[in-house]
Amino acid sequence: MQPTSIKSIPTRDRLIVALDLPDADAARRAVERMGDGVGFYKMGLELFMAGGYFELLDWLTGRGKKVFVDLKFFDVPETVRAAVRNLRNRGASLATVHGNDAILEAAAAEKGDTRILAVTALTSLDQGDMEDLGFKTDIASLVLSRARRALDLGCDGVVSSGLEAERLRAHLDERLLVVVPGIRPGVNRPVDDQKRTVDVEEAFEKGADYIVVGRPIRDAANPAAAAEEFQRRIAACFGE
């Protein structure tokens, strides 16, 4: 398998570990257990609601870590504009925004050094779920449409299942960042709330620039060793 991402991203930065944990103290302990194996972390809604979110962000960046703020900003455009403006200069490398064209455009206008990712379709949703939500198109077409609009509106990329990444690469130019969550390590993938999953090699073959991994590293008996195994597999994808 050969990766299709040609961006000059340090190979070890292509792994983002999700800190989906109950509080900031648990997140700090997890980061310390993973050590030098991980340099990029995703902080989501659970941590935000627990308190100490920005203190944790500062703690991570102070240790040379990169941070992906995954709060999926979704509100009236002016509120989203203000939220993204307040995120500037906090050291966040990536942030997610959800919503229509006006919301995405407002976020992109205030992004500063933070790269804005549009949410396409959550990896916990399958086609039946999308139909329940009222979408009359297939997931792949919806993801491509949202990605095309996001790029035109000034966003830097999208969060997308690896199953749709190949189509994004085929139809959109290389400027688009593709961040792929829902990574499961192999063929015998665990049954959980992620429905549209791929493994490491498949994600990069199909066009991922970054992958987001949570439970397979965070919940491992030895998180540092698990992280290093993911890093080894990613390096192999890129011939390193």
- Please name the amino acid found at residue 5: S
Whole-number Å distance between alpha carbons of 22 and 20: 7
Q: Which region, left, alpha or beta, applies to residue 52 given φ > 0 means left and ψ of -120 to 50 means alpha?
A: left
Active site residue 195: no
Residue 42's H or E segment, with its range, is strand 40-43
Token pair for residue 219? 């919940």
Output phi, psi for 64, to 5 deg: 80, 15
Return the DSSP state at 36.
G
Kindly name the residue from 42, 65, 66, 72 that is annotated as catalytic: 72
Which amino acid appears at position 115 of this protein? R
Q: Which residues are catalytic?
A: 72
